[in-house]
A and B are shown apart, each in its own frame.
Chain A
């Protein structure tokens, strides 16, 4: 085991006192930027980057990646407590995390999320450790057609699972696609759908949309339903943190399945966001309690969190070995690598053994540090739920406004965010599903780019999607997932089962 030896050497580097201190600092800073919507890991990383130029590259990357772990964990906090996802990848966590917190179990929700996230990250790191070179090879097999097939798979596994009216789902999905298309189009370079607003050339940021749709929209629903009148009893309960984590092994199947989906989407170009949605969709379909998803189910938290972190972790590998950043943060780190004089690419593993294995070892240690710190903060965060609604409501509005603004220092984004808030309220009120809308905003333009790049390559022929075994099987699995709910519906009808389900299905 050549890798194992290298890893042990890496541990020797990562476990120095200086590096442990850097990890703690990085993780704490990361939690802070992760918790605050509008600030994300890219802010923190780009802020620290100039400070790291004087450091050893391995110390610098340990600091930056620890911050990345902290931010990944922190991002789930606001999703669960206030229904405001700070990062695209924590949207799916709101579906069950927020209802559970509202029920008065914020501690359980947070601890479950952190525990499963740590598990996902661990699986991701193990994958990187032992299969680094294989993973790099797999990633190379993905051209535009395969990219498109992966996005298609993510859509297929998610769409058609909600309890919404089909036509409302279709409209929500299409609106998401249209929003994703606003701005400059990569493939043609032309400006699309700005409708006379020059500033829209930059496109509509996902953060602006979710701050409004989820944050403000939920606030309006909450005030209407007088949720605030019902007090959320959340005693500070340290034991519950451990109990929630100890209950996780009971959901081993969900954990393993979600970690596998996460790793797969992290290596292939799908990324953490698509991974968390897909994992949630598949969990809903295969879980015995799938019908209750959306009302505060434990597995509804486990699935997206595990997949998100598994993907976020394994996505660092393509960055190191190929030089394609899997996320905005990875992109900033890559810029850092170059300024430190390291060139991401296949030779990094050969030339810079200390650096690479120091980093990989620090992923193990950094994640353990991160999960320990973050679990300690759970009761503190849970206590936020006890702030009276009248005080927290204007604070949420301000945080959403600041978050929307800081995406690209634009006032227009604050106004758009408020508009999305109204749309979020209307959609929620009338049972239009928000999840397909958000998924389409996040990966709609990527899917379109990949499709049109494929069409350039094939000179307009769809045959490119059946060109080789990889792309063909991806497409077929996608179609199967898309047709599965229809098929089940038909079967149910054939069996004459008009057994109407009286259970209220939450629309997500």
Chain B
């Protein structure tokens, strides 16, 4: 791997640390603060609280763990806070891919290189949803109907994951959609149920209730293979019955949102290693599996170089979409 810029060097250094076995183990001496870059009730907040309750239950550390919500500015508040806490190993920031995506498209006062990556712990899938009584049964029908140019696509936030995916659908499907940003995916789901928009690209957990309730249904999943088999969601269908988008002729093989964990910048390698190890322990518990299942996410654990490579790949991709749309901030 050829590394050219300074920040990548430091990121790679952190990555190496993550891969190292835990030695000379650093231990926390003070209460630990979990910073959720989302308001109470959001997906990121739920993750932070789930991790907190698991750590507390299994006494994985002697120190108390406190969850703090810093969801202002679509999460920027939490990342800026992390940047300002450089060198403080008692702040753990929970976020998503917006840690590296947001600085691309808006003038926020942080970049992901200001933080020390710990791990990506779970991946949320994306699906294409339409209203239950919509006439189209397949992605093909949807794309054909959307050529009218009057389709409205809802999503959470602007120039964030949902809109990036919308723009990808436009490009691959040769259609034009009007993107309407809402505060959250849950809001977009209700707008779809009320027929105010034509589709959205929610995560499974954001729309599962609506699917069960028969107000909307998924057309396809932006995943390389079908989602894992589980209990049926509606009377006849479960997640594994949803075709992949590629199967349906919409060539977007993979689009996922990682849930990411960070430390502030300038922490020592032992400190970072401690948290990598802690998160690994969390992931080994039955409660974690339960959490993953109930929120319909995919379990992953990316740390060190693998996490780094993932960020870089995603960043390239988003940069390309953002450049095409003219979103990049100067």
Contacts and interface: CB of A to CB of B under 8 A. Distances in A.
Contact of A187 (B108, B158, B187): B158
B291 interface: yes
Given A188-B158, A343-B212, 17 more contacts: A143-B194, A144-B180, A184-B73, A186-B158, A202-B73, A202-B76, A202-B77, A202-B80, A323-B209, A334-B186, A335-B42, A338-B294, A338-B295, A345-B213, A346-B214, A408-B69, A456-B178
A341 to B, nearest CB: 5
A362 to B, nearest CB: 21
A332 B294 contact: no
B30 to A, nearest CB: 15
A42 to B, nearest CB: 5
Contact of A331 (B40, B53, B106, B158): B40
Interface in A382-410: 408-409
Contacts of A346: 209-210, 212-215
A6 interface: no
Interface stretch (B43-51, B138-146, B251-259, B299-307): B43-51
Interface stretch (A17-25, A46-54, A249-257, A436-444): A46-54
A139 B196 CA distance: 12
A79 to B, nearest CB: 23
B80 A198 contact: yes
A345 B212 contact: yes
By CB atoms of chain A within 10 A, which of B81, B186, B187 has the most?
A: B186
B107 interface: yes
Interface string A128-139: 000000000001
Interface string A76-118: 0000000000000000000000000000000000000000000
B189 interface: yes
Query: Looking at chain B, what size class is its interface with the partner chain?
Result: 35 or more
Contacts of A348: 209
B176 interface: no
Closest 5 CB pairs of A and B: A345-B209, A202-B72, A346-B213, A331-B41, A143-B196
Interface string A339-382: 10101111110010000000000000000000000000000000
Given A191-B73, A202-B72, A347-B209, A186 B182 contact: yes
Interface in A193-212: 198-199, 201-203
Interface string A159-195: 0000000000000000000000001111111110000
A325 B73 contact: no
A493 interface: no
B102 to A, nearest CB: 8
A328 interface: yes
A376 B52 CA distance: 37
Interface in B40-97: 40-42, 45-46, 49-50, 52-53, 56, 67-70, 72-74, 76-77, 80-81
B46 A324 contact: no
B88 to A, nearest CB: 13
B190 interface: yes
B294 A189 contact: no
29 contacts: A45-B40, A49-B49, A140-B195, A183-B73, A184-B108, A188-B158, A190-B106, A191-B76, A191-B108, A201-B73, A201-B80, A202-B73, A202-B80, A330-B41, A331-B39, A331-B40, A331-B41, A341-B294, A343-B208, A346-B210, A346-B213, A346-B215, A347-B209, A347-B213, A408-B69, A408-B70, A409-B70, A409-B81, A456-B179
Contact of B191 (A143, A331, A347): A143
A490 interface: no
A391 to B, nearest CB: 31
A322 interface: yes
B234 to A, nearest CB: 9
A453 interface: yes
Contacts of A53: 53
B128 interface: no
A142 interface: yes
A487 interface: no
A408 B49 contact: no
B266 to A, nearest CB: 18
B28 interface: no
B49 A46 contact: yes
Contacts of B209: 323, 343-348
A183 B107 CA distance: 11
B160 interface: yes
B41 A184 contact: no
A402 to B, nearest CB: 15
B106 A191 contact: yes
B294 A339 contact: yes
A453 B181 contact: yes
Given A50-B53, A201-B80, A331-B41, A184 B210 contact: no
Contact of B76 (A139, A201, A325, A334): A201
B80 A199 contact: yes
A328 B39 contact: yes
B46 A335 contact: yes
A476 interface: no
B160 to A, nearest CB: 7
B160 A189 contact: yes
Contacts of B81: 409
B76 A184 contact: yes
Given A324-B187, A334-B41, A189 B157 contact: yes
Interface in B185-214: 186-187, 189-191, 193-196, 205, 208-210, 212-214
Given A328-B39, A456-B180, A457-B152, A339 B50 contact: yes
B212 to A, nearest CB: 4
B245 to A, nearest CB: 24
A99 to B, nearest CB: 34
Contact of A186 (B45, B50, B157): B157
B221 interface: no
Interface in B90-131: 105-109
Nearest to B189: A323
B70 A50 contact: no
A480 interface: no
B159 interface: yes
A280 to B, nearest CB: 27
Nearest to B79: A201
Nearest to A42: B40
A335 B40 contact: yes
Given A46-B67, A50-B49, A331-B39, A457 B178 contact: yes
Given A334-B41, A338-B46, A347-B212, A140 B180 contact: no
A201 B213 contact: no
Nearest to A45: B40
B232 interface: no
Interface in B136-179: 152, 157-160, 178-179
Contact of B212 (A49, A341, A351): A351
Contacts of A4: none
B183 interface: yes
Contacts of B208: 343, 345
